[in-house]
Amino acid sequence: MNNFIMKKALLFLILVFCMGIKVSYAQTNSKPNIVFIAVDDLKPEIGAYGNKMVKTPNIDRLAKMSTVFMRNYCQQAVCGPTRASLMTGLRPDITKIWDLKTQMRDMNPDILTLPQYLISQGYTTVGTGKIYHPSSAIKKIDPISWNDTYLVAKPSDYANGLGTPANNQYQKPATKLLKKLNLEKRMMKFLQASKVPPQNASMFQTMLMKMELLHCLQKKKLFN
Protein backbone atom coordinates (compact mmCIF):
# COMPACT_ATOMS: atom_id res chain seq x y z
CA MET A 1 0.00 0.00 0.00
CA ASN A 2 2.82 2.37 0.94
CA ASN A 3 4.58 1.57 -2.33
CA PHE A 4 1.38 2.33 -4.23
CA ILE A 5 0.99 5.70 -2.48
CA MET A 6 4.65 6.50 -3.06
CA LYS A 7 4.31 5.68 -6.76
CA LYS A 8 1.22 7.92 -7.07
CA ALA A 9 2.97 10.71 -5.24
CA LEU A 10 6.03 10.32 -7.47
CA LEU A 11 3.85 10.32 -10.60
CA PHE A 12 2.07 13.46 -9.36
CA LEU A 13 5.40 15.21 -8.78
CA ILE A 14 6.63 14.20 -12.24
CA LEU A 15 3.43 15.58 -13.82
CA VAL A 16 3.74 18.84 -11.90
CA PHE A 17 7.41 19.11 -12.91
CA CYS A 18 6.56 18.48 -16.57
CA MET A 19 3.74 21.03 -16.46
CA GLY A 20 6.12 23.52 -14.90
CA ILE A 21 8.60 22.97 -17.73
CA LYS A 22 5.82 23.39 -20.30
CA VAL A 23 4.56 26.62 -18.71
CA SER A 24 8.10 27.97 -18.37
CA TYR A 25 8.88 27.04 -21.98
CA ALA A 26 5.66 28.70 -23.17
CA GLN A 27 6.52 31.87 -21.27
CA THR A 28 10.01 32.10 -22.72
CA ASN A 29 8.65 31.50 -26.21
CA SER A 30 5.53 33.66 -26.02
CA LYS A 31 7.31 36.64 -27.59
CA PRO A 32 7.26 36.63 -31.39
CA ASN A 33 10.53 36.69 -33.28
CA ILE A 34 11.17 40.00 -35.02
CA VAL A 35 13.11 40.28 -38.28
CA PHE A 36 14.08 43.82 -39.27
CA ILE A 37 15.38 44.20 -42.84
CA ALA A 38 17.01 47.51 -43.70
CA VAL A 39 17.56 48.35 -47.38
CA ASP A 40 19.32 51.46 -48.65
CA ASP A 41 17.67 53.61 -51.31
CA LEU A 42 14.88 51.14 -52.08
CA LYS A 43 12.16 52.98 -53.92
CA PRO A 44 8.68 51.42 -53.78
CA GLU A 45 9.29 49.89 -57.20
CA ILE A 46 8.51 46.28 -56.30
CA GLY A 47 5.57 44.00 -56.95
CA ALA A 48 4.08 44.58 -53.50
CA TYR A 49 3.70 48.27 -54.37
CA GLY A 50 2.04 47.58 -57.70
CA ASN A 51 5.00 47.58 -60.09
CA LYS A 52 4.25 44.98 -62.78
CA MET A 53 7.65 45.14 -64.48
CA VAL A 54 9.97 44.50 -61.53
CA LYS A 55 9.96 40.84 -60.44
CA THR A 56 10.33 40.52 -56.66
CA PRO A 57 8.59 37.24 -55.77
CA ASN A 58 10.19 36.71 -52.35
CA ILE A 59 9.53 40.16 -50.94
CA ASP A 60 6.04 40.06 -52.49
CA ARG A 61 5.32 36.79 -50.70
CA LEU A 62 6.49 38.33 -47.44
CA ALA A 63 4.27 41.37 -48.10
CA LYS A 64 1.20 39.13 -48.45
CA MET A 65 1.77 37.91 -44.89
CA SER A 66 2.46 41.38 -43.58
CA THR A 67 1.13 44.90 -43.20
CA VAL A 68 2.23 47.01 -46.18
CA PHE A 69 2.34 50.77 -45.62
CA MET A 70 1.31 52.57 -48.79
CA ARG A 71 1.82 56.11 -47.44
CA ASN A 72 5.13 56.13 -45.60
CA TYR A 73 7.58 59.02 -45.68
CA CYS A 74 11.26 59.33 -44.81
CA GLN A 75 12.31 61.75 -42.09
CA GLN A 76 15.16 63.31 -44.04
CA ALA A 77 16.45 62.88 -47.58
CA VAL A 78 19.73 61.31 -46.46
CA CYS A 79 20.55 58.01 -44.83
CA GLY A 80 21.93 58.92 -41.38
CA PRO A 81 19.01 61.03 -40.07
CA THR A 82 16.37 58.71 -41.50
CA ARG A 83 17.90 55.58 -39.96
CA ALA A 84 18.37 57.33 -36.62
CA SER A 85 14.69 58.34 -36.69
CA LEU A 86 13.54 54.88 -37.69
CA MET A 87 15.58 53.21 -34.93
CA THR A 88 14.49 55.63 -32.19
CA GLY A 89 11.04 56.85 -33.23
CA LEU A 90 12.25 60.44 -32.93
CA ARG A 91 12.28 63.22 -35.51
CA PRO A 92 15.57 64.76 -36.69
CA ASP A 93 14.81 67.95 -34.78
CA ILE A 94 14.98 65.83 -31.62
CA THR A 95 17.84 63.48 -32.58
CA LYS A 96 19.75 66.53 -33.92
CA ILE A 97 21.04 64.46 -36.82
CA TRP A 98 20.68 66.20 -40.18
CA ASP A 99 23.74 64.94 -42.07
CA LEU A 100 26.01 61.95 -42.62
CA LYS A 101 28.68 62.82 -40.06
CA THR A 102 26.93 63.60 -36.76
CA GLN A 103 27.00 60.78 -34.23
CA MET A 104 23.66 59.93 -32.70
CA ARG A 105 24.98 59.57 -29.14
CA ASP A 106 27.12 62.68 -29.33
CA MET A 107 23.87 64.61 -29.52
CA ASN A 108 21.78 62.33 -27.28
CA PRO A 109 23.95 60.05 -25.10
CA ASP A 110 20.94 58.38 -23.44
CA ILE A 111 18.77 58.01 -26.53
CA LEU A 112 16.81 54.73 -26.51
CA THR A 113 16.91 52.66 -29.68
CA LEU A 114 14.46 49.98 -30.76
CA PRO A 115 16.96 47.14 -30.15
CA GLN A 116 17.72 48.55 -26.68
CA TYR A 117 14.02 48.53 -25.84
CA LEU A 118 13.71 44.93 -27.05
CA ILE A 119 16.64 43.95 -24.83
CA SER A 120 14.81 45.46 -21.85
CA GLN A 121 11.84 43.24 -22.75
CA GLY A 122 13.88 40.06 -22.66
CA TYR A 123 14.87 39.80 -26.31
CA THR A 124 18.23 38.86 -27.73
CA THR A 125 19.20 41.33 -30.43
CA VAL A 126 21.58 40.40 -33.23
CA GLY A 127 22.60 42.69 -36.09
CA THR A 128 24.40 42.38 -39.39
CA GLY A 129 25.04 44.65 -42.34
CA LYS A 130 24.01 48.28 -42.33
CA ILE A 131 21.38 49.16 -39.74
CA TYR A 132 22.57 52.60 -38.65
CA HIS A 133 24.54 54.84 -40.97
CA PRO A 134 28.16 54.04 -39.97
CA SER A 135 29.17 57.64 -39.30
CA SER A 136 26.05 58.22 -37.19
CA ALA A 137 26.70 55.37 -34.75
CA ILE A 138 29.48 54.47 -32.32
CA LYS A 139 31.83 51.95 -33.96
CA LYS A 140 29.45 52.08 -36.96
CA ILE A 141 26.92 49.79 -35.23
CA ASP A 142 25.97 51.38 -31.87
CA PRO A 143 27.16 48.41 -29.73
CA ILE A 144 24.72 49.15 -26.90
CA SER A 145 21.87 48.22 -29.26
CA TRP A 146 22.99 44.59 -29.45
CA ASN A 147 23.40 41.99 -26.72
CA ASP A 148 24.76 39.30 -29.01
CA THR A 149 27.49 39.23 -31.62
CA TYR A 150 27.14 41.73 -34.45
CA LEU A 151 27.77 39.63 -37.56
CA VAL A 152 30.23 40.92 -40.16
CA ALA A 153 30.00 39.41 -43.64
CA LYS A 154 33.04 37.70 -45.14
CA PRO A 155 33.73 37.52 -48.89
CA SER A 156 32.82 33.81 -48.80
CA ASP A 157 29.34 34.62 -47.44
CA TYR A 158 28.20 36.11 -50.77
CA ALA A 159 26.42 33.88 -53.27
CA ASN A 160 27.88 32.54 -56.52
CA GLY A 161 31.46 33.36 -55.53
CA LEU A 162 30.89 37.08 -56.16
CA GLY A 163 32.80 38.15 -53.07
CA THR A 164 32.47 41.46 -51.26
CA PRO A 165 30.45 44.01 -53.27
CA ALA A 166 32.12 47.23 -54.40
CA ASN A 167 31.36 50.06 -52.01
CA ASN A 168 29.42 47.41 -50.05
CA GLN A 169 26.64 47.79 -52.63
CA TYR A 170 27.48 46.72 -56.15
CA GLN A 171 28.04 43.16 -57.41
CA LYS A 172 27.87 43.76 -61.15
CA PRO A 173 31.35 42.88 -62.52
CA ALA A 174 31.51 45.97 -64.77
CA THR A 175 30.69 48.25 -61.84
CA LYS A 176 33.24 46.54 -59.61
CA LEU A 177 35.88 47.00 -62.33
CA LEU A 178 35.09 50.72 -62.60
CA LYS A 179 35.39 51.00 -58.84
CA LYS A 180 38.79 49.29 -58.95
CA LEU A 181 40.05 51.50 -61.79
CA ASN A 182 38.90 54.62 -59.98
CA LEU A 183 40.62 53.41 -56.82
CA GLU A 184 43.88 52.83 -58.66
CA LYS A 185 43.65 56.23 -60.38
CA ARG A 186 43.14 58.04 -57.09
CA MET A 187 45.89 56.00 -55.47
CA MET A 188 48.37 57.01 -58.18
CA LYS A 189 47.32 60.64 -57.78
CA PHE A 190 48.13 60.39 -54.09
CA LEU A 191 51.48 58.71 -54.77
CA GLN A 192 52.43 61.45 -57.22
CA ALA A 193 51.41 64.18 -54.78
CA SER A 194 53.46 62.46 -52.08
CA LYS A 195 56.49 62.30 -54.43
CA VAL A 196 57.02 58.60 -53.86
CA PRO A 197 59.96 57.38 -56.03
CA PRO A 198 58.69 55.47 -59.10
CA GLN A 199 60.66 52.35 -58.14
CA ASN A 200 58.76 52.24 -54.82
CA ALA A 201 55.33 53.23 -56.12
CA SER A 202 54.07 49.72 -56.84
CA MET A 203 55.19 48.40 -53.45
CA PHE A 204 53.77 51.42 -51.64
CA GLN A 205 50.45 51.16 -53.49
CA THR A 206 50.10 47.48 -52.63
CA MET A 207 50.88 48.20 -49.01
CA LEU A 208 48.24 50.93 -48.82
CA MET A 209 45.60 48.76 -50.42
CA LYS A 210 46.33 45.83 -48.14
CA MET A 211 46.14 48.04 -45.07
CA GLU A 212 42.94 49.63 -46.42
CA LEU A 213 44.22 53.11 -45.68
CA LEU A 214 42.49 54.77 -48.59
CA HIS A 215 39.33 55.42 -46.62
CA CYS A 216 41.33 56.92 -43.76
CA LEU A 217 43.24 59.14 -46.16
CA GLN A 218 40.00 60.35 -47.73
CA LYS A 219 38.48 61.15 -44.34
CA LYS A 220 41.57 63.13 -43.37
CA LYS A 221 41.25 64.96 -46.72
CA LEU A 222 44.84 64.28 -47.68
CA PHE A 223 43.72 64.15 -51.28
CA ASN A 224 40.53 64.60 -53.29
Contact by Cβ (8 Å): 128, 150: yes
Phi, psi of 170 (to 5 degrees): -110, 130
Of the candidates 18, 74, 79, 216, the residue annotated as catalytic is: 79
Helix %, strand %, coil % for the chain, to 5? 55, 0, 45
Q: Using alpha carbons, list the distances in angstroms from residue 24 to 34, 78, 187, 209.
A: 21, 45, 60, 54
The number of angstroms, rounded, from the C-alpha of 64 to the middle of its chain's C-alpha atoms is: 24
Of the candidates 18, 74, 133, 216, the residue annotated as catalytic is: 133
Q: What angle do the packed helices 173-193 and 198-211 form, to 10 degrees?
A: 130
Query: What is the C-alpha R_g of the chain?
Result: 26
- Residue 18 a catalytic site member: no
Q: Which residues are part of the catalytic machinery? A: 79, 133
